Structure 1
């Protein structure tokens, strides 16, 4: 972005003042950082150090822009810095979105883990209940050992039924547990694969963006070169037209001056007229003398 000499000098003076102010601010931050002491001041020291680094970065950019204004009278470095900051901001936004998506997936996995843990606890409770029932049945069988065989047979049948039911329940719960473990493993694999795919997509998008930015920079450079060529051609055409106009004006002026010299008998044209006049006078004088005789 070319600027006039006056504009570039004004901006350079303002940037020089800004650079001095930034240096003063950096020195103040350094002094204040050294003054901070104690474990409670660690956070304040980190903040002041960060501010100091940012001041140094801004001062470097201001110095570059000042040098560019003095040498090239343009602010292309400022535009480049703004564009780089926009790219960093977009990359940070994309990273934050990916991080949020990853956190959401982790929350989903944690919720699924909680559900699996609850089911596992339920299974353990059932196992404990089964053991307690078995223990109670064994105590009852011991206490009723002296009862009738029919009651013993009935109790034995009930015990077998309960054990069969418990074994079936245990098998079902174990199968459910295995299925849940398999689903959890599959979800983990899918999550890892999806995260890898997203990272590859992000890398490809960043590469494409970099290539497009390089192409845009190259096109801008070519456009500036073509614009310089056009401006130089316009200057040459303007100078050529001016020279032609000056030549025509000089030709007209010479013709006008020659006409004035001829009409007024000046310069070389005057000598020719005087010679003719003298010849005529000599002839008249000769003729007069003859007539006198």
Structure 2
């Protein structure tokens, strides 16, 4: 910040000193409370009227911005959004201040003590600013104090908004809790009715169970008697089955002995065949082993011959590749010579043409040359004809 001129410092210092005097006089004449004074109600009504007027002004400004946003086509959307956000913030702060003003009593001693504290703070800031102006010619303390107060005010607004949101959330949770309590009460009543109904059913079931117990006891006695008779009949039947099974066991024993003798005879025959096939297997193994040895020897000879043929093939392939390279080089050399010959022919023709057109060398102009030139022209005309 650049320092002010001495004249500006003198002017500002005079104004600040006047403010300090007025604040000190206000501190001496300000009462402890306005309660009991006849003009207290008029003071309060004036304060509320001023706040209402400011709030109506902000609402009107917000409505104008909303209407201009819908009707305007030239203004940029970003500027409209910023102005609308500023107007909405001012309207919100005004509503908050109005609600706080209605909740608080400006005539109480607490409000007046707050006014005294604000007056002392303002006097202190002005005193520091005045000393800074007189020493350095700047007012940085005043700007710092304003920024600090703005930050405090913003934090206070944020705290109030968060508190209001918390209260709304608390009310919503309370309503939700009441709904849950009503639901639980209804559910509890329904369960009590269900318990009473189940108790009635339990009494009925006890009576039914007693009757069923007597019936089951008699039924069991009858079933036992009937079971004994049935078991006696089954016992006689099982004894007959046991005798029949014993006869079958004797028959199976005889059959087993006959089958065993047959299998022993068959086993002897199979052992003889096994010895024959084992001897044949050994002979076949020896023959195949000899054949395998002969095949390995033939494979070794064929592999050596294959390697020799591969070596000859590589040598022949190398000779063929060298011959191809030589032919390719010869073809390129011939092509280069033909290209050089054509280029030389073209250059010579171009140079001769230049010498003829420029009359250089043997084609210089002279008497003989003129005659030759006339003849040449005649020849040229004849050619054209």
TM over 0.5: no
Question: The TM-score by the shorter chain falls in which range?
Answer: 0.3 to 0.5
Give TM-score, length-normalised by structure 1.
Answer: 0.36
Bigger CA radius of gyration:
2
